[in-house]
Amino acid sequence: MPTNATVWLSSMPPQTAADRPAHRLMEAAVVGACTAVLMLGVYEGFDARAVVPGLTAYWAANYLPAAQGLHASTTFVTSRFGVVHAYFGLGPVWLAVPLVIAGLVTIFRLGRPATAIAVAALWPEMLALSALKKYPFLDPRTSTFLFAITVVVAAVGVAGLCSLLRPWLKGTVAAGLAVAAVAAFAVGAQPYVRSHRIPQEDVRDQARYAAAHAAPGDVILVNASSNWGFAYYWPSGQPSRRADAAVLQGYEAYFPGQPRVIVARNRDPAGVRAALSQALARARAQARQRSCTRIWLVRTHVIPAESAAWRRALRQQGLFSTGVGDEGLRVVQMGKCQSQ
């Protein structure tokens, strides 16, 4: 026997093909709006406070100069693309742009108009945020998502073009075009697969290695740029924070109750010398009670001038450091110590 619900559903007019995409598009718009509100809340609650004038000045070369006119903005965009276009692996602009457009059309034809619109709007959104000085445009550290999304859309475009060509070309020819496209991308991207433009610095494993291997009397010397990451990963005690006008964050981490953890206050030669002298004083005091004391050097984001300052300070004290582990950690040994 049919139920009332069955009779009610059967009496409803069938949904037309035009209604379904419109309904999905409306759903996507509502979900997108809600997501945007949530993301804006997260940004205002956690990230907006970090946008200080000094940080904006640091990224000045990566902001779209919209106030200077169309010519300056166009020159900025083309120059930024000129710097990073090889990382897309899509070849010259005359080839890459049509492939991305073909990808957007393919996504739209596959019944995903909301996805196509969202991806198409992504680049203008990033340019607008760059003009507002909220996003460093096409810097490798901030734009990995743009590189990946653009390449995926271009790959969808290649697949869509091959699919359209199949009725006019033999299946093997279309497949051959797809294989050739993959091979061309692999050849173009291969030089960058193992490249590391951003230095491979692992403060997490440095902290964990030192925690696992340092003796209770050893000294942990942390350079200025490592203090935040080290504080996050150091498993002992509870770090605290103190105001520091020398850094854009406005504060640095330190470790009350753990006098063996010494944080350099600055990256200049005077700051490096002061931190090393403090670490040496503590290490020598410990050496009176133990035959071996080590100073563990936790250092990341070391600029050339700071690196030279560390070498000079160690040399002036007659100290030599050796690398341990695979994370860039180094150790200064004072006394007769067994190797780690």
Of the candidates 283, 295, 317, the residue with the CA atom closest to the CA atom of residue 223: 295
- Which of 265, 321, 274 lies closest to 296, judged by CA? 321
Check residue 7 and give its pLDDT.
Answer: 43
Q: What is the pTM of this model?
A: 0.67
For the chain, what are the domain ranges?
A: 51-193, 203-335
**What is the Cα–Cα distance from 132 to 66, expressed in whole angstroms?**
9
Window from 51-60, 162-171, 216-225 with minimum mean pLDDT: 162-171
> Buried b vs exposed e over 138-150: b needs ≥16 C-beta within 10 Å?
beeeebeebbeeb
Environment class of residue 195 by beta-carbon count within 10 Å: exposed (0-12), middle (13-18) or buried (19+)? exposed
Residue 239: pLDDT above 90? yes
CA of 11: how far to CAs of 1, 66, 103, 241, in Å? 16, 57, 40, 68
Residues 65-117 have pLDDT tens digits of 999 999 999 999 999 988 888 888 888 888 889 999 999 999 999 988 888 98
Contact yes or no for 197/237 (Cβ under 8 A)? no
SS3 state at 134: coil
207 is written with which tokens? 């902290």
Each residue's pLDDT tens digit, 14-70: 555 445 667 777 887 888 788 889 988 888 887 777 777 777 888 899 999 999 999
Cα–Cα distance measured from residue 154 to residue 149, given in angstroms and rounded to the nearest whole number: 9
Q: Which of 128-142, 177-191, 209-223 bottoms out in mean pLDDT, i.e. has the lowest?
A: 177-191
Stretch 305-318: mean pLDDT, rounded? 94
What pLDDT score was predicted for residue 35? 86
Task: Return d(Cα 97, Cα 88) in angstroms, integer.
Answer: 11
Q: What b/e string do you get for 46-74 counting C-beta neighbours within 10 Å, with b at 16 or more?
A: eeeeeeeeeeeeebeebbbeeeeeeeebe
Give the residue among 17, 22, 128, 11 at the shortest CA–CA distance from 66: 128
* Per-residue confidence (pLDDT) for residue 51, from 0 to 100: 74
**β partners of residue 220:** 261, 296
